[in-house]
Amino acid sequence: MGIIAFLVAVPLIAAALLMLFRTDQQRNVITIAAAGATGLASVVFAVQYLFAGYTVFALPQEVSYITTWILTAIDIVLCAVILWSAVRYGNRTALVLGIIQTLGVVWFANMTLPEGAEHMLENPVYLDQLSVIMVLIVGLVGSAICVYALGYMKDFQHHEPEGAPDRRHFFSALMFLFLSAMFLIVLSDNLEWMFTGWEITTVCSFLMIGYTRTPEAIKNSFRQINLNMIGGLAFLGALIIVHLTTLPLSLGALIAATHSMASPIFILPVMLLSVAGLTKAAQMPFHSWLLGAMVAPTPTSALLHSSTMVKAGVFLLVKLAPAYQVYPVASAMVVAIGGITFVLCSFMAITQSNAKRVLAYSTIANLGLIAACSGVGTSEAVWAAIFLIIFHTVSKSVLFLCVGTVEHRIGSRNIEDMDGLFSRLPHLTRFMMLGIMGMFVAPFGMLVSKWATLVSFAETGNVLFLILLAFGSAATFFFWAKWLGKLAGVAQKAENVEGGVHKSEWFSIGFISCLLVGCCVLLPVISQTVVGPYLAGVYGETPQLIGVDNMIIMVAIVVFIAIVLLTPWGRATKKRRVEVYLGGQCTEPDSRRFHGSMGRTMTSTKRNWYMEDVFPEGTLTRVGLIICISVLLMAFAACFIFDFGFLAGGSFMVDREVLLVGPDLLGILIGTVCFAIAAPVAGLLLDGLDRKVSAHMQGRVGPKILQPYYDVRKLFTKEPASVNAVDEAYVTCALIFAIIAGGLFVSGSNLLMCVFLVTLATLFMIIAAYSCRSPYADTGADRECLQVMSYEPMLMIMTVGFFTATQSFDIARLFQLDMPIVTSLLPIFLGLMFVLTIKLRKSPFDLSYSHHAHQEIVKGITTEFSGRTLALVEIMHWCESVLFLMWVGMFFIWDNPISIVVAIVAALAAWFFEVTIDNNFARMKWQNCLGGAWLVALVVGVVNLFYVLITPFI
Amino acid sequence: MSYSSKSPWLIHYDGSSCNGCDIEVLDSMMPLYDIERFGIINTGNPKHADIFLITGAINHQNVNVVKHIYDQMLEPKVVVACGICACTGGVFKDAYNVIGGADKAIPVDVYAPGCAVRPETIIDAVLKAVKILDEKAAKMGASEKNR
């Protein structure tokens, strides 16, 4: 108990001290001491209680009573602050909402406080593993951000106009107050106390967003407070209803009550609390406050959007998860809003060039995913939600902090200006790249959690949200990859401007990056010892979503990627440097200036790809608002329309178990070795045959079958030269990942992991191309990103279809089936055939690069690769082609050895079909590629998944 | 055994040709002549190419471009001058703006004369160039061993 008081008190005291002592020196000392103490205390707290499980702390009822009085007083003070600001800045909405809230608080206090001390909860404070995780997040990441703010705010003040008042003490104090409120939220069982914490965070963030007091900041801060007050009022409404039902004001008691006979009474409080959670978590239709909050100084964004404010919202939703299993309407509401927010905000993030807005949209999207997971409410989904919380916090805070520092170094937060940052801010950019990778690629935690999300949606048969997830993830890939590409560009001569970065900034960014890698490495351990027991405590079962062996492989890959990014490994510094290819005479490679026709010197410019016409922000926002508001209204209306039997009738989703039948680590290793030897050979023969067959189709003789082998051997003997020192390292990584992906497949391991690793390999190819900063390679890489975005939904749907047909994600399961899966997954098979054209780089969709003689973007993504690097690209292409054809073959496997022959024949037939198409079609525009692939994925996905998931019930 | 000769990839550059030779170069890539039989691919990218085919004379506008493309090609590499203009400057030799054949800008390994050069001549020249490519590759390998 002592340590909990310490956790809440230290930031409070620090906040008070910061208001008193205002010089830089004093602030540094106080902040560092308080952040250190908070961080240390949270670690001690975690060591003490991480494995303790559910623990309650008794408090004398008098003490509780006095605390409640104090907190109620704080509530009223907060209302006063809101009202005062509303009057001062003349915001009517805030005034009205503030008055309602004040009346509500007073009325509620009038109900509860006169009842006296004996009605207070005996155990108002509790903790379980989830609370401990949240304490660690707030204590470590939150404190690190406070330290970061020291250096950042120095620069910030410097950039302010002359004569601007120095209110940095106030800013720092608010940050600490925020931490204190967060501890209060995650540790109190008493809903009244939690409400106070809730309101403190609302008002603190209001003040932080309005910190600069520019008209824009004021406007956005009022938007924030108005939207959050709706959530606050919902929370208050829930409190009042719970109190009227004479249930103690305890979160634990409420959730327990939802599983009792009296459950129908509690649907309304649960719905209201969900609305409160959704508001805090910035879900549509309340999402605009988070976008507006980006005007605030960056530490605010980092604190609000990665570790604290929004996490309080999803924390509440995760806590309510067991209740969603009872109330299908509440569950549907949360899942629908979360899922739609995820997909729409991922689309909108594509159109943004402001780095902070990209981060904001991706934050909203990921929170949507977390909300949807808690809404599903099964133990698997909650597993995913908790890991999403952890990994989102660490990755996103690194990104926010990096963007903030970069903004001060280069004077812009526009992604276009981050071109070539790899050379200008070498260390910072690497951390940023790590953060971005942490957000969206396997094997980083975020993707593992997304994987778990996919599994839990598949298990509950939630078709619509599987589809939303598939498309949203594809968009996620696109906007992160193109940003990553901008960062990765290596300028040949660049000035290092990293000198002015403050020590406090380095410390925070480095510390949280270590946390990021640490969390990824420790993922299996965290799952086994913390999240597992938590779920066992709540649900009585521990989900087994992902085999431990797969997790170990992922950990190894994380370490590998961290080494590639952060150390000089694989840098070919001795190679001859050549200039980028600009079609003519290059005069200055860094600025891409070249001597063009008519004797003019021209500059080639290249912007990121925003696709505003495909994903218009305004329209998507309107669509989202309309859908989400209707969902909210319909859900509340449903509470009054339907009878209690339905409303509290329990989830109508089916729960399926994932069978883990994959091989162990040794098996995967053997598979990888086999694939590494056999696949290039098979791939090279196929490639040779491809050229031979194509030649015959065109009425020629064509080259020898072994021609691709000669090509690659020749490339290995060429002089080593490249545009920069890193591209070969990236391509080597890509090849390694492609081989591991193939190894997983042939050893019979997880299909989903195989798909993710193929994507990872492609990502490394894309980064390698972007790193050259050549207009042709960049365009090729952009198109490659587009291709990934086009086919990714289909592949996701394929894996889910695989799961629904086999009850497992493991390829080995195929040999236990009575019937090949093509019998039930025919539409998905046809969809795969469609995207196979993209994956095999065949016309009509060979946008990014092809083997054809002429291509309008020189050689697309491979333009700047030469010699050995190009040979590795070829080998990777062989391996991938073999792997993709095996995906085709897997549809024809059942428990009969003959099926292998059938599968090989089918794969070869598919290959021949693709070659025929290749020779008979012209290349299409990218719009057709994206539109076609998405339409096919949508149609076959919906049709096939519905068919497979619904038939068992007919 | 050298693999350079088995997989010669081309880049074609049009200096200041009248386009007669260019059409013949493209002609030789057609299915009729099927140069892919020899593993030849027209890459259009100096970084991938082993053989540099130039048509047309060198003038003041393009001399640096030709040098630049040549620089961007990786060793071993050979240059084939296709057509009489690329060999010597041809009928434009004495024009005020023409410097001369391709060898005024970069070292040329094989000269394929003709106006316009015939596809058979081009293929013959490329196959000659391939032998030189092999020699250069062997020399490169030897010097690497000595190092």
Evaluate whether A283 touches A340 at the Cβ level (below 8 Å).
no
The C-alpha of A712 sits at a distance from chain B's nearest C-alpha, in angstroms, of 9
Q: Residues of B with CB below 8 A from A714's CB?
A: 3-4, 6-7, 50
Q: How many residues does chain B have?
A: 147
Q: Are A17 and A168 in contact (CB under 8 A)?
A: no
Contact B4, B73 (CB under 8 A): no
Read off the pLDDT band of B142 (50, 70, 90): confident
Cα A315–chain centre separation: 17
Residues of B in contact with A862 (CB under 8 A): 48
Task: Report the alpha-carbon distance of residue A234 to residue A236 in Å, rounded.
Answer: 5
In order of A32, A244, A954, the CA distances from A826 in angstroms are 61, 56, 20
Size of interface A-B (CB pairs under 8 A): 95
Instruction: Yes or no: say if B63 and B99 are a contact pair by the CB < 8 Å rule.
Output: yes
Q: Which residues of A are less than 8 Å from B64 in CB distance?
A: 585, 595
Cis peptide before A215 (omega within 30 of 0): no
* Strands in A479-575 per DSSP E: none
Q: How many angstroms separate the CA atoms of A710 and A779, rounded?
A: 29
**Nearest alpha-carbon partner for A387 in A402, A401, A366, A363:** A366
What pairing do the DSSP bridges indicate for beta strands B110-112 and B51-55? unpaired
Give the model's pLDDT for residue A890.
92
Question: Which amino acid, one-letter code, is at A933?
Answer: A
Which of B67, B74, B136, B147 would best serve as a mutation to test chain A binding (most A beta carbons within 10 A)? B74
Instruction: List the CATH number of the domain containing B85.
Output: 3.40.50.12280
* Candidates A587, A718, A719, A854, partner chain B, best to mutate (most B CBs within 10 A): A718
CA A858 to chain B, closest CA, distance in angstroms equals 6
CA distance A783 to chain B (A): 19
| DSSP class of A630 | H
In this structure, is the dihedral angle defined by the CA atoms of residues A514, A727, A886 and A473, taken in order, positive or negative? positive
Pairing of strands A593-595, A601-603: antiparallel
Largest Cα–Cα separation, chain A: 97
Which residue among B4, B9, B37 places its CB closest to the CB of A717?
Answer: B4
* Residue ranges of B 88-147 with Cβ closer than 8 A to chain A: 137, 140-141
| Rounded Cα–Cα distance for residues A2 and B50 (Å) | 75
Closest CB from B7, B44, B137 relative to A854:
B44
The reply to whether A870 touches chain B by the CB within 8 Å rule is yes
Closest in A585, A863, A870 to B65, CB measured: A585
Q: Pairing mode, if any, of strands B58-59 and B41-42?
A: unpaired
H/E run at residue B42: strand B41-42
Show residues of chain B in contact with A867, CB under 8 Å.
74
Looking at the partner chain, which of B39, B46, B75 has a beta carbon nearest the beta carbon of A707?
B39
Alpha-carbon radius of gyration of chain B: 15
In the predicted model, what is the mean pLDDT of residues B60-76? 88
Contacts of A855 in chain B (CB under 8 A): 44
As a whole number of angstroms, the distance between CA A271 and CA A792 comes to: 35
Task: List CB contacts (< 8 A) between B65 and chain A.
Answer: 584-585, 595
Positive or negative torsion for Cα A444, A449, A454, A458: positive
Structure tokens at A148: 């970061």
Selection from A180, A218, A221, A220 nearest residue A201 by Cα: A180
β-pairing verdict for B98-100 and B58-59: antiparallel
Which among A719, A853, A863 is the nearest to B41, CB-wise?
Answer: A853
- pTM, rounded to two decimals: 0.93
Q: Tell me which chain B residues have a C-beta less than 8 angstroms from the C-beta of A688.
A: none
Q: What is the pLDDT of residue B83?
A: 92
Say if the Cβ atoms of B37 and A702 lie within 8 Å.
yes
Q: How confident is the model at residue B1 (pLDDT cuts 50, 70, 90)?
A: low
Nearest to B74 among A695, A721, A864 (CB): A721
| Token output for A917 | 């198409």
Cross-chain residue pair B140–A717, CB shorter than 8 Å: yes
Residues in chain A: 954
Contacts A599 to B, Cβ<8 Å? 61
Beta strands in A337-475 (DSSP E): none
Q: Which of residues 231-270 of A touch B (CB under 8 A)?
A: none
Half-sphere exposure of A334 (CA within 13 A, CB side): 35
User: Which of A277, A229, A133 minimizes the C-alpha distance to A632?
Assistant: A277
Determine whether the interchain pair A866/B48 forms a contact, defined as Cβ–Cβ distance below 8 Å: yes
Q: Please name the residue of chain A whose CA is at the shortest distance from the CA of residue B72.
A: A578
- If DSSP codes are grouped into helix, strand and coil, which group holds residue A438? helix
Going by C-alpha positions, the residue among A587, A609, A584 that lies closest to residue A598 is A584
Interface test with B, best of A687, A705, A714 (most B CBs within 10 A): A714
Beta bridge partners of A593: A588, A603
**CB-CB under 8 Å, A707 with B75:** no
**Ramachandran bin of A855, using left for φ above 0, alpha for ψ from -120 to 50, beta for the remaining angles:** beta
What are the chain A neighbours of B38 within 8 Å (beta carbons)?
703
Q: Whole domain around residue B91: which residue ranges?
A: 4-146
Distance CA A331, CA A65 (A): 35
Q: How close A675 gets to chain B, by Cα (Å)?
A: 26
Residues 6-45 of chain B with CB under 8 A from chain A are 6-7, 9, 29, 31, 34, 36-39, 41-45
Provide the sign of the torsion angle of the four alpha carbons B57, B58, B61, B64, taken in this order.
positive
Q: Give me A320's structure tokens.
A: 């309510």
Rounded CA-CA distance A887/A909 in Å is 13
| Rg value, chain A, Cα | 28
Contact assignment for B71 to A578 by CB distance below 8 Å: yes
In chain A, which residues have pLDDT < 70? 442-443, 597, 650-655, 851-857, 952-954
Contact list, B72 vs chain A (CB under 8 Å): 578-579, 581
For residue B27, the SS3 value is helix
Of B7, B36, B71, the CB nearest to A702: B36
Query: CA-to-CA distance for A211 and A213, rounded, in angstroms?
Result: 5
CB B117 within 8 Å of CB B83: yes
How many domains does chain B fold into?
1
The residue with tokens 């909860």 is A121
User: CA angle, corner B56, sides to B50 and B62, nearest 5?
Assistant: 80
Test the A interface: residue of B10, B25, B48 with most A CBs within 10 Å: B48
Question: In 10 A of CB A556, how many CB atoms?
Answer: 14
Shortest distance, CA B37 to any CA of chain A (angstroms):
4
The CA-CA-CA angle for residues A37, A434, A779, to 5°, reads: 150
- Give strand pairing partners of A750: A810
Alpha-carbon gap: A607 to the closest alpha carbon of chain B (Å):
23
Cα–Cα distance between A647 and A331 in angstroms, integer?
11
Tell whether A201 is within 8 A of chain B (Cβ): no
